[in-house]
Amino acid sequence: MQRKKFLGSALCLFLSATVFLSGCNKTETATEATTQPEAAQNELVNPPGVLPITKEKTTIKVMSRTNPSVENFATNEFTKWLEEKTNIHIEWDVASDPQQKLNISLASGDYPDVYLGFNITPVQLSLYGKDGVFIPLNKLIDKYGVETKKMFASLPYTKELSSNFDGNIYGLPSVNECFHCTHSSKMWMNQKWLDAVGMKLPTTTEEFYQVLKAFKEKDPNGNKKADELPLVGANIANSYVDTYLMQAFIDSDRSMQFLKDGKIKVAFNQPEYKEGLKYLNKLFKEGLIDPQSFTQDRNQLRKLGENPDAEILGAIPAQNPTVFNLLEGPRWKDYVAVPPLKGPGGVQASKYIPQGITTGSFVITNKMKNPEIAMRLADFLYSEEATMRAVLGRPDMEWKAAGPNDIGINGKPAKYTVLGNSSPGAKNATWGQVGPSLRSNDWRLGQTADPKNPLEDILYKETLNKYEPYKPDPKNAIPTLFFTNDQSDEIANISKTIDDYRKETTARMIIGDLDIDKKWDEYVKNLDNMKLPRYLQIHQEAYDAMKKK
């Protein structure tokens, strides 16, 4: 199957002026509904574009990943609204450890009708799609995908990146053209502490080290206790202590890969990576990295951020400060983004992620007796009204249509105004970005710039001014690669072994459990024995094939 190279930053979705309808009729009919006779539909399902989705109340079993902003999916305000609109009742199974739950459920055969928000990788989609566990959605999309086909037409890359090498689509994506997410590996530093110790934002790895030492030694929170934690991370995406800092030693993409002279390589077996580990080990030995950083989850990190006695966090790698502080609290505003640091070799780069898509956000399994129902549910989640409610909450409670004089984050007329989280039930009003939604760059930056609720405005400006200048040249970026089923099988087996070993070994090197100089050659040799050369060969073959197209 032929595919074109995707450049996500060049795409934009035009939203219609009817985005902000606060409600709709019990029965709505899209124009596509007239193209298929009702006799052709499943007798339980209304025609495409017609609500409710099912003629009678129907239950489907959904396994979802947990989210700290969702108190209870079953009692959630969006869930209740969705059931009322669609006639579909969801029986929830919420996973606190999504990857483990996914692996166990698939291995045991005890899996749900639908996986929601697991963001299943293309490799896994291919593997279980080939085995028939995940069903192909192409025909269902053709027949029922009113909103999905609109999305594919407006944003062609969403179809391209959702399609497997065999042409099948085994999972529907979540689309989030989030500008600040294109540079999601950020470091946030306490400005009050910088002021207290009389220092400026660091620009190099050496300056960063000196700032952390000052945070540890000079009591910046002023409580006369040695309770400051200079650098704290977590075992979650974008909060690993090494991801941001390693960009000062060796520039690599999200998969820790990079191009050099037309050849794909990985960062984690390079001499520069070794030097980065030595730097991190130095920070750890001097008590500048909190040991919890390697094991704690987001909730535990946030507890540290909301420590009731005093602010105790100095610098934290995270996509945004609400990862470690509550949005409704005041503390997150004390933190500013640190631009990419310049390392000892002159490297200074932001880890840039061009795509606005998360694959495998909605996956239908072969346990679903009537997959048409699940497909129509997923399709409805891409509608403008459902996206607004799933992500922002209830109209005129958590958000409202923008006024004629409101200006968006991007400086253009605003589309909507976020009202904050003070309304009753707001903490359980959305799905917290779990599952499919359609959020274009235009939509995201169309939020009213509000000084009382400035998070998105801050994230936009911090990203634009501090990280965008350090994004890589697109010519040097590895494009999205596509693999055959056999290649996907092989990559999945190799990558898990390598990834587990790399994470464990490098963490031990950082904390000093393994001597970096003495064990480095053994570490590199073990990676080779785990078939890293073959892993790279497969990627190189896919890259070379793409370049010939």
pLDDT of residue 68: 83
Structure token pair of residue 520: 């480095």
CB atoms within 10 A of CB 229: 24
What pLDDT, in 10s, does the model give residues 215-237? Answer: 999 999 999 999 999 999 999 98
124-141 pLDDT per residue, tens: 898 899 999 999 999 999
Straight-line distance from the first to the last Cα atom of the chain, in angstroms, rounded to the nearest whole number: 11
Helix-then-strand count for the chain, H and E = 18, 14
Buried b (16+ CB within 10 A) or exposed e, 500-510: ebbeebbbbbb
Rounded Cα distance between 44 and 54, Å, is: 6
Question: 425-452 burial, b for 16+ CB within 10 Å, e for fewer?
Answer: ebbbbbbbbbbbbbbbbbbbbbbbbbee
pLDDT value for 35 = 33
Q: What would you report as the CA-atom Rg of the chain, rounded to the nearest whole angstrom?
A: 24
Question: How many Cβ atoms sit within 10 Å of the Cβ of residue 11?
Answer: 18
Q: Count other C-beta atoms under 10 Å from residue 318's C-beta.
A: 27
Spatial distance between the Cα atoms of 34 and 377, rounded to a whole number of angstroms? 19
| pLDDT of amino acid 29 | 35
Question: Would you state the pLDDT for residue 355?
Answer: 67
Checking 449-455 for CB contacts under 8 A at 24+ apart, the result is: 449/407, 449/408, 449/409, 449/414, 450/417, 450/418, 452/420, 453/418, 453/419, 453/420, 454/333, 455/320, 455/322, 455/327, 455/332
Question: Cβ distance 424 to 447 under 8 Å?
Answer: no
Residues lower than pLDDT 70 in the chain: 1-41, 355, 420-426, 549
Mapped onto helix, strand or coil, the DSSP state of residue 187 is strand
- Are 515 and 547 contacting, i.e. CB atoms less than 8 angstroms apart? no
- Of the candidates 54, 33, 92, 87, the residue with the CA atom closest to the CA atom of residue 373: 54
- Residue 403 confidence (pLDDT): 95
Three-class SS state of 413: strand
For 481, the token pair is: 């690669």
